[in-house]
Amino acid sequence: MRGVVAIYRREIAGLFFGPLAWLLLALAFLLNGYLFVFYLKFTGGDVDTAIRSSLGESWPFWALLILLPPLLTMRMISEESRTGLLEFLLTAPVSDAAVVVGKFLAAVTFLGILWGSIFVYAFTLARLGMAPDPGVLMGGWIGALLVSGFFCAIGLFASSLTNTPVLSAFAAVLINLAIVISPLLAQMSGQRWLRNVIARVDVLDHHKNAFMLGVLDSSYVVFFVAWTGLFLFMTVRMLEARRWR
Amino acid sequence: MISVSHLTRRFGDLMALDDVSFEVGKAEIVGILGLNGAGKTTLMRVLAGYLPATSGSASIGGFDVLRQSIEVRKRIGYLPESVPLYREHRVVEMLQFQARLHGMSRADTKRRIGEVLDRVGLADRKRELIGNLSRGLRQRAGLAVALLPEPEVLILDEPTSGLDPLQRIEVRGLVRDLAARHTVLVSSHILPEIEATCGRVVILHRGRVAADGRPEELVRTLLHEAHVRVEAVVGADVATAVRLLKAVKGVRDVRDVGRSGIHHAFEVLCDEDLREDVGALAGARGWSLRELSWRRPTLEQIFARIALGGTEEVRREVVPIAVGAAASNDGALHVLGGDAPAPQKVVYNLNPFDMGAARDLGKPKAVEGKVPSADEQRAREARGGS
């Protein structure tokens, strides 16, 4: 896909030229740092558990994932459509898919940097003689990246639905929230069939049961890649549908 | 270079382009002219591969714009009306991004950036943030971006929109210069822009091609009303004067416009300026001349006629003007009050030589020159009251 790198570089530059990305990064780093220290204290110095809590086994992680990807991706298509920049991109000699993938990779990179702060904590602790399990560390980070990718794909899809960034962010937050709380709602409903269906698409469960244990199970990787791919595919279709409206 | 065949594009019930066909040759500069909503932008977008056509086909450089869109996009430089540029980038960064999108090598990118910046006169502003540039400079930056990959075809949608007169002249000059090396398709609803820039004009009206040709050809084909206007004292034998004028070589017809005081006015219809011949005839016959002028229709008048449905005359409701008085059909003035007369019908004369379309159509001709001043109005009311 020619042009992905060009779009990716532009999006990364666009993200870091604006204040929003820096603000989000600063706030998320602060929160993550504070929470990591809190988890360390809470677990009595169990580094691996603190890492697991930071990368998926605590509600602040999921709260950040519900909110951050929509904020990052809300402008990527809707704002560009409003300002005419999408017209510029879609008349350049690159495919619609290259435009979407370039933007998606830029958003995932941002979240990768955000979750990458865990390596700083792990390195610091290792220097102090409390080295974490590398499997848990890498598995947790890769898992966080895959889940982030999934939510970024949802954010991009929402961004392709409207020309209003705030509306697209709101829609993406609602979808993310529905995905995160659907297992809980299924549990509360008491319907077994519903629980079974939801369990098949339970993002939290898939993340916790594989990556948090330090295991890179290919079926779980495929689960996230497939869902992410589906939303990216729908985003590309939406871009195409815009042309026919 | 560009071939458009029976192109149709619908937006729901709206027919934006309706069976549009035309061809553009290599290194030709063609203006797409039309009112707002005529379908210019839709046509440009279809050609740029942004919008698919509902039916029909279009190709650029032999490649179909829909099926071989990427090949077409490699060969075009497209500047939409909104001049989409990333405001947070510097001019040079935007150009580098465009170069990467077109897969240009590093050496080519450096060379071309220098060339296009020189060409659009932005070499000294290349480090400036696009968001800080004025509208005119942004337009130039947009043109530089479109020109960077050295496209065979340039598609410019309203490139002078929102610019001040000086900037318009600059952009017009730029576009004219580009015609030597590129095929240029430029749209505008401002007729003098197109007349000044393009060798050929395609007039779109309600999505259809209403006219296509060189401006002077259009003028010749669509309006046979070029004439020498002559006002002279010809005496009582007007018929003889008409016969003599008709006998002048090159005259197609003579219209008797009527008498004004001692002078009589004629329109001597001819394809070429025959003022000297008519003047010589007047001298030979001893006619005392008051006016001898060469009048030929302009593209603007043709455009206005097409835009207004190609009719000679358009009937419109007159909206009473709140000046204290309005003219009735018989020309008398009536003070507007509670029993103000009902709106009257006025026939607008679209004769291109009689102010025609150049006149503000919002003003009814019936009241022109007949509205009394405030003092006259007071005097009139005083007389009425006494």
- CB < 8 Å to B102, chain A: 92-93
**Taking CA B143 as the corner, what is the angle to CA B137 and CA B144, rounded to the nearest 5 degrees?**
90
What residues are paired with B87 via a beta bridge?
Answer: none
Higher pLDDT, B76 or B179: B76
* pLDDT for position A173: 95
* pLDDT for position B376: 54
pLDDT-derived band at B101 (thresholds 50, 70, 90) equals very high
- CB < 8 Å to B74, chain A: 93
- CB < 8 Å to B97, chain A: 6, 9-10
Task: Check the CA dihedral A214-A219-A224-A229 and report its sign.
Answer: positive
Closest CB to A94: pick one of B51, B52, B101.
B101
Chain B nearest-CA residue for A19: B88
Query: What residue spans of B33-105 are helical by DSSP H?
Result: 40-48, 69-75, 91-101
Can you tell me whether residue B237 is helix, strand or coil?
coil
Q: How far is B82 from chain A (nearest CA, A)?
A: 6
Is the predicted pLDDT of residue A148 greater than 90, yes or no? yes
A127 alpha-carbon distance from chain centroid: 30
Closest CB to B80: pick one of A13, A88, A244.
A88
Angle, helix A96-115 to helix A134-161, in steps of 10 degrees: 140
Phi/psi of residue B331, each to 5°? 95, -15
Range B63-70 average pLDDT: 89
Q: For A179-204, how does the pLDDT look when each residue is reduced to its tens digit (9 = 90+)?
A: 888 888 888 877 888 888 888 778 77
Please name the amino acid found at residue B94.
Answer: M
Range B360-368 average pLDDT: 42
Q: Are residues B228 and B292 in contact, defined by beta-carbon separation less than 8 angstroms?
A: yes
- CB < 8 Å to B86, chain A: 10, 14, 85
What is the DSSP track for B250-310? Answer: TEEEEEEEEEETTEEEEEEEESS--HHHHHHHHHHHT-EEEEEEEE---HHHHHHHHHTTS
Please name the amino acid found at residue A167.
Answer: L
Task: Check the CA dihedral B307-B310-B316-B321 and report its sign.
Answer: positive
ipTM: 0.86
Q: How many CB pairs under 8 A join A and B?
A: 66
- CB < 8 Å to A94, chain B: 70, 101
Q: State the greatest distance between any 2 C-alpha atoms of chain A, in Å, as a whole number.
A: 61
The Cα B371–Cα B375 span in angstroms is 11
* pLDDT for position A158: 95
What is the DSSP track for B137-188? Answer: HHHHHHHHHHHTT--SEEEEESTTTT--HHHHHHHHHHHHHHTTTSEEEEEE
Residues in CB range of A215: below 8 A, 6 or more apart: A135, A139
In this structure, how many other beta carbons lie within 10 angstroms of the beta carbon of residue B378? 12
Phi/psi of residue B187, each to 5°? -110, 155
Q: Which residues of B293-309 are buried (b: 16+ CB within 10 A; e: fewer)?
A: eeebbbbbbbbbbbbbe
Q: Are residues B53 and B5 in contact, defined by beta-carbon separation less than 8 angstroms?
A: no
pTM greater than 0.90 (yes/no):
no
Give CA torsion, residues A159, A161, A162, A168, to 10 deg.
-40
Whether B49 has its CB under 8 Å from any CB of chain A: the answer is: yes
Question: Per CB distance under 8 Å, which residues of A are interface residues toward B?
Answer: 2-3, 5-7, 9-10, 13-14, 17-18, 83-95, 243-245
Q: For B31-49, how does the pLDDT look when each residue is reduced to its tens digit (9 = 90+)?
A: 888 888 888 899 999 999 8
Q: Identify the H or E element spanning B64.
A: strand B63-64
Phi/psi of residue B303, each to 5°? -60, -45
Q: Report the side by side order of strands in the sheet with B288-295.
A: B251-260, B263-270, B227-233, B288-295
Q: For B188-246, how does the pLDDT look when each residue is reduced to its tens digit (9 = 90+)?
A: 877 777 877 888 888 888 888 888 888 777 776 666 677 889 999 888 788 889 999 99
